[in-house]
Chain A
């Protein structure tokens, strides 16, 4: 049981490049979400999903796309990277039975130059 797996752990992009951050969970959690965390700051919700085929915007969705074709995977796409997207990105999942809180992935540290 690996929990929530994020790849890559580190990434440097040039302005304008696109890339996909991967997130996979093996706990059969229905709910998955992406957060960004800037230095010394809290967690801001980018996008979330309550099940396969269902996604919705969070607090800071601009510049990011998501899809949820399976229960396990929830990739985050940066369409045209900007320096303002330099951040640490966390994927988190949760079960509908709500007995437990979120399980977070280990994070992706992204730098846009």
Chain B
């Protein structure tokens, strides 16, 4: 079955710098890749997603890139701010409804 690996488990960046979180997936049939942000004590919330027919998608300071050949996708956050501090989860789906989740990355923004 599908397996999603996420790195790093913890990422600490200076406020204003960029942050990159990477995920790899195992099944080439996966075609939907969302990213969720979970603030402390809150529910996970979808922040951006990408489908396999697109290589990159941007939404203000966040972007996701997808390399189907290498089977990896990445979340990019530019000009990081204190409110970006959270746990970020990647996931993959094979055009069904099940999401296979990464283990999460704790992003720490240092003032």
Contacts and interface: CB of A to CB of B under 8 A. Distances in A.
Contacts of B89: 42-43
Given A42-B89, A98-B32, A104 B97 contact: no
Q: How large is the interface on A (under 10, 10 to 19, 20 to 34, 35 or more residues)?
A: 20 to 34
B43 A31 contact: no
Interface in A64-113: 90, 94, 96, 98, 100-107
Most-contacted residue by chain A among B42, B97, B103 (CB, 10 A): B97
Most-contacted residue by chain B among A94, A101, A103 (CB, 10 A): A101
A42 B103 contact: yes
A101 B89 CA distance: 13
21 contacts: A41-B104, A42-B101, A42-B102, A42-B104, A43-B44, A43-B89, A45-B98, A48-B97, A48-B98, A50-B97, A98-B32, A101-B36, A101-B99, A102-B34, A102-B36, A102-B99, A103-B46, A104-B44, A104-B45, A106-B43, A107-B43
Interface of B: 32, 34, 36, 42-46, 49, 89, 95, 97-99, 101-104
